[in-house]
Structure 1
Amino acid sequence: MNILTEGQKAPDFKVADQDGNQVSLKDFQGKTVVLYFYPKDNTPGCTAEACDFRDNYAGLVSKGIAVLGVSTDPELSHQKFAAKYQLPFPLLADTDQQLVQAYGVWGEKNMYGKKYMGINRTTFIISGDGTIAHIIQKVDTKNATAQVLALLDQPAGA
């Protein structure tokens, strides 16, 4: 498994979004990208996180920030999720686990004593030059945008 660190070049990708459009990290060159990995569409924590980014989306865009959500759910699931909650940003359908493997967020999970493999909720803030500026591993799903903005507001090297 890939273990990424801050300051490293972010792995590029080309993955379909909920509408079948191919999305690549290169498409966002010069912009800050919030690449957030979440376990599953239409689950409580994932919905809270997506809606938090939705509710703060205009402010993020005004700061030159692009938001991309990623899970291993298929395009149709993402379409329904995005429509149900009016999500204005792309949801990437990583059905072959290309991104979750490249970003090191696929791992063993444990729910009610049952072990299984899945996405460990993680947010990567990628700078305009394609390097990983910040990695958030303890995501506050109801305040995900505030976590991102707090890190971006820190002086360099803080």
Structure 2
Amino acid sequence: MADKLLTGDLAPGFTLKDSSGKDVSLASRHGGSTIVYFYPAAATPGCTKQACDFRDSLASFTSAGYRVLGISPDSVNKLAAFAANEDLSFPLLSDEDHAVAEAYGAWGEKKNYGRTYEGLIRSTVVIDPDGNVALAQYNVRATGHVAKLRRDLKLDT
């Protein structure tokens, strides 16, 4: 597992399939900043809450120059169903081998009910237009995270 990213680090590049099977690349930032959020599993209660919070705040992120990308180890087909069921209009990307999550420090040891295992660590990384990490948050909570991120990015002023 890679170390967690820090502010100022160069964000690792990636190209992943979205829920429609199209390639989406970090390099195609379109001159703005990118919010990359990692979530463990589509269509679970916490991940659904977080995705819907991003959906509901998408206009404010977009108007401030941010693009939102959600990344999970789910298959393209599962992401397609999740996006359709929850009316998600931002790209959900499939990282089935979790290589991107590892490169971003969002894959590692987790503990749940006394069991230790490797898995996705709910994380958000904001990448500036130059490809550098502007903000990195790890072990975030599904509920309330988007509101906190909006405050951290000063979108709620």
By the TM > 0.5 criterion, same fold?
A: yes
Per the alignment, residue 147 of structure 2 pairs with 146
RMSD between superposed Cα atoms in Å: 1.4
Write the mapping of 1:97-116 to structure 2, written as runs, cut at 5 A. Answer: 97-116=98-117
Judge conservation of contact 2:37–2:125 (CA < 8 Å) in 1. Answer: yes
C-alpha distance in 2 between matches for 1:136 and 1:46: 16
Name segments (4+ residues, structure 1) moved above 4 Å: none
Judge conservation of contact 1:52–1:141 (CA < 8 Å) in 2. Answer: no
One-letter code aligned to 2:11: A
Per the alignment, residue 30 of structure 1 pairs with 31
C-alpha distance in 2 between matches for 1:115 and 1:33: 32
One-letter code aligned to 2:36: L
The alpha carbon displacement at 1:48 in A equals: 0.8
One-letter code aligned to 1:103: Y
Per the alignment, residue 129 of structure 1 pairs with 130
The alpha carbon displacement at 1:101 in A equals: 1.2
Judge conservation of contact 1:53–1:144 (CA < 8 Å) in 2. Answer: no
C-alpha distance in 1 between matches for 2:99 and 2:107: 10
The alpha carbon displacement at 1:127 in A equals: 0.8
Secondary structure, aligned partner of 1:141: coil
The alpha carbon displacement at 1:151 in A equals: 1.9
Write the mapping of 1:2-17 to structure 2, written as runs, cut at 5 A. Answer: 2-3=2-3, 4-17=5-18
The alpha carbon displacement at 1:97 in A equals: 1.5
The alpha carbon displacement at 1:118 in A equals: 0.7
Gaps of 5+ in 2: none
Once the two structures are superposed, what CA deviation does each residue of 1:26-58 show, in whole Å capped at 9, x if it has no partner? Answer: 101421111000111111111110000011111
Secondary structure, aligned partner of 2:143: helix
Range 96-105 or range 5-14, more displaced: 96-105
Judge conservation of contact 1:39–1:71 (CA < 8 Å) in 2. Answer: yes
The alpha carbon displacement at 1:153 in A equals: 2.2
The alpha carbon displacement at 1:128 in A equals: 1.0
Aligned length: 154
**TM-score, normalised on structure 1?**
0.92
Judge conservation of contact 1:140–1:147 (CA < 8 Å) in 2. Answer: no
The alpha carbon displacement at 1:6 in A equals: 1.0
